[in-house]
Structure 1
Amino acid sequence: MASNEDATSNGASLEHDRLAGTSRATKAVHGGERAGRPRVSDSLTTPIVQTATYTFQDTAELIAYQEGRYGSYEYGRYGNPTTRACEEKIRELEGAEDCLVSSSGMNAATTMLLALVPAGGHIVTTTDCYRRTRQFIQTVLPKMGISATVIDPADLAALEAALEQHDVSLFFSESPTNPYMRCVDIPRIKQLCGAKGAVVVVDSTFATPINQQALALGADLVIHSATKYLAGHNDVLAGAIAGKSELVAAVRAMHNVLGGTIDPHASYLLLRGMKTLDLRVQRQNATATDIAARLEAHPLVTRVHYPGLASHPDHAIAAAQMSGYGGVVSFEVDGDLWRTARFVDSVQLPYIAPSLGGVESLIEQPTVISYWDQGAEKRAQVGIKDNLIRFSCGIESADDIWADFEQAFAKI
């Protein structure tokens, strides 16, 4: 058996023979690489496989790949070893049969809807949801004849009616939702939808697989904006969809056409971020629970939206389905838009920014950051109040966060 040194020497010799007589331009492209790649299987961290395409030794190997007898990816849009490691980690975290990681949470959601809802199909979704998801369902899908019934997250009678009145292809909801943290009864929804052959998809971004196992509860697919808690450091865009293998395969086929491919380095950052997911989420759960309780008792707060509070309309559902309530707390200040803005402007620890789930605390006024272009009437129609604040806990000290909130309250 040849030693590593012999293998290296033989490889270099073969490469020298192959490139003999070629120009410097050719050697600049192929030198040091054509004889084989360095072994990295004993590396502690998963390597970043920074390639856009994959090579084959000969036609027979290529045919073996085409027939499923040789493992490769052919082209970067169809897969990557670093990305596949991410997919496997999320698959295991969610207890899924398969997983697809893509370039963003919105890409995961839109690709899923395009793949699984036929032209002329019907969707049931919920009132409280991320604005861009709502926008896609209400403005893009109708161009393909796809209609939607929008129900309150707790209105199962409305779901039953929609299932009777329409040939529903798919139910889709966040749980908890954005920004009011509503929770849907996943087992009951699956029971109702399963009887009619409708796929149940849950966006579990706010919950994470640490706090909620949506697939075990009955969902067919679970979606994440992996940008948020999974990556956890506000430095990468990514999306993920996990669940039944045949459904993920259908989404993957559409993904391969649309091309929402995540970059290998982004996959590496996501993979690294997930290593501390449990630690971060447990800290954020504790901080959010503490802050939510203090906010509820504050005289300048009229309402707190957090599923861990007994006052939340879906607290019983959350308690039955979740092991933790997440790191996002929404609350309403006793005041108008500008008094609320003064509080947001007065805090010193959280950054004023969109997104959530990272190690830094973030704060935003949904009216301003997400719905400013909609106008007061449209905001009212979708339930966005001018005095609403959404706070995403980082991993800072809860006492430090509250001290900052207290000085901001003092200024209004």
Structure 2
Amino acid sequence: MSASTPPSGRAAKAADYVARTRPVVPPIYQSATFYLDDIAYKDIQEGGGLTEHWYSRFANPTVDAAAAEIAELEGAEAAMMTSSGMAAIATTLLTLLQGDRRRVVAARQVYGDTRDLLVRDLPALGIAVTMVDAVDLDAWAAAIAEAPTAVVYAEALSNPQLDLTDLAAIAELAHAAGAKLVVDSTFATPYTVNPLAVGADVVVHSATKFLSGHSDVIAGVVVSDRETTTEIQRRMITFGGCLDPHAAYLVWRGLQTFDVRLARASETALALAKRLEQHPEVTSVRYPGLPGYAWRETAEKLMRPGRGGAMVAFTVRGGNPRALAVMRRLTIASEATSLGGVETLVSAPFNSSHFSLSEEELAANRIEPGMLRFSCGVEDAETLITDVERALDGTVEP
């Protein structure tokens, strides 16, 4: 064939070649579009294109595989993936806050960007937002009863202070008022609690964190009953917050070791929390598995026995400057944002996740000067604890 001869048209038909047998690992369907047939056309006309695969902004087999795994973990009828955790939260709230009931009652103790959505972006769209203390049931009841409410929003375990919201009690309050309870369970994970089982209507996660578990992907997920999930998915399609198939594969891969990773990390977190309680340079430790945990009774009601999770928050003497000094001396734990990976990550909320809050707002959210947030990984527990103790001891002035 001469250099001027065009290549065969079959070169564009590589998708025709598929494996004859079923693979152990789901393929990455890195395709924006799929061949149409009568079944696909029927799905488009009758179901909006959400069941069959014909365009990856609507649905993709690899993305669906990851979503199905998470639905199983949460005991949900259905799940849908999004391009990030914030995409999952924003799309869910904008879907549910329609019609006459454009009001949300939310916990004050939430992730920094979630707070920005609640106090800045939703009000700009004409949505009323009332925020209450996450662990004050009387405040929840009063706020929900104050005006017609569509959504009640809380984090299962709050970021970063690890307050545990009584989801079962708040679900009753929400449902009595005709509202839906939406729970961000990123910190808690399905390893420790299933919010749907205690009354939540929708659960969201930053799948970037523990679900994927390797700090190499940005993703979000929404789980609920099939009807609600489908409605949120329709909004996601319109807003364009779909997840890339390769990112979905990375989430799926991480899910295969979810229980093993969380078991190891939770064991380490408990050991670290116990040692920190005894350290003279630590003024407070927050971990749901400790006997002295402030919301122990709620933990016993909601969380699986012996599963306190992988997050530990503690406060060091000397305030924020000392906290920074401690982080800079760590060699095993890494100073970085995010959480939920196989490596231990540490951050100070005042200059990362909650940098936009004033000192008064930090205090109101129980974020003390000198607080550090640890996301325990799968390193050897004693090695990690020794690293933390060395950092604490090394920052004490002689």
TM-score range, shorter chain: over 0.9
Establish whether residue 245 from structure 1 lines up as the match of residue 226 from structure 2.
yes
SS class of match (1:78):
coil
Partner Cα distance (2:175, 2:364) in 1:
31
Establish whether residue 140 from structure 1 lines up as the match of residue 121 from structure 2.
yes
> Does the 8 A contact of 1:128 with 1:177 survive in 2?
yes
Indicate which of 357, 369, 374 corresponds to 1:386.
369
Partner Cα distance (2:163, 2:231) in 1:
29
26 and 383 in structure 1: CA distance in 2 versus 1, 3 angstrom threshold: farther
Indicate which of 37, 44, 51 corresponds to 1:66.
44
Partner Cα distance (1:336, 1:154) in 2:
25
1:239: Cα distance to partner? 0.5
61 and 317 in structure 1: CA distance in 2 versus 1, 3 angstrom threshold: closer
* AA at the equivalent of 1:161: A
Partner Cα distance (1:84, 1:278) in 2:
21
SS class of match (2:150):
strand
Which residue does 2:328 correspond to in 1?
A: 345
Partner Cα distance (2:13, 2:83) in 1:
32
Establish whether residue 183 from structure 1 lines up as the match of residue 164 from structure 2.
yes
340 and 62 in structure 1: CA distance in 2 versus 1, 3 angstrom threshold: closer
Single out whichever of 230-239 and 312-321 deviates more from structure 2: 312-321
Establish whether residue 77 from structure 1 lines up as the match of residue 57 from structure 2.
yes
**Which structure has the larger Rg over C-alpha atoms?**
1
1:68: Cα distance to partner? 4.5
Superimposed CA distance per residue, residues 174-228 of structure 1 (whole angstroms, 9 cap, x where no aligned partner) = 1111001111111111111111110011111111112111111111111111111
Which residue does 1:209 correspond to in 2?
A: 190
Partner Cα distance (1:41, 1:195) in 2:
52
1:407: Cα distance to partner? 1.1
Matches within 5 A, 1:304-383: 304-323=285-304, 324-372=307-355, 374=357, 376=359, 379-380=362-363, 382-383=365-366
* AA at the equivalent of 1:174: E
Which residue does 2:388 correspond to in 1?
A: 405
128 and 301 in structure 1: CA distance in 2 versus 1, 3 angstrom threshold: same
Single out whichever of 76-85 and 149-158 deviates more from structure 2: 149-158
Which residue does 2:179 correspond to in 1?
A: 198
Partner Cα distance (1:113, 1:178) in 2:
19
Gaps of 5+ in 2: none
Which residue does 2:87 correspond to in 1?
A: 107
**% identical aligned pairs:** 36
SS class of match (1:202):
strand
Q: How many residues align?
A: 387
Superimposed CA distance per residue, residues 87-116 of structure 1 (whole angstroms, 9 cap, x where no aligned partner) = 111111111111011111110000001110
Which residue does 1:158 correspond to in 2?
A: 139
Partner Cα distance (1:55, 1:80) in 2:
13
SS class of match (1:241):
strand
SS class of match (1:24):
coil
Which residue does 1:24 correspond to in 2?
A: 6
TM-score (norm 1): 0.89
Indicate which of 5, 23, 28 corresponds to 1:48.
28
Indicate which of 258, 267, 278 corresponds to 1:286.
267
Superimposed CA distance per residue, residues 368-394 of structure 1 (whole angstroms, 9 cap, x where no aligned partner) = 223445554554454433311001100
Establish whether residue 39 from structure 1 lines up as the match of residue 19 from structure 2.
yes
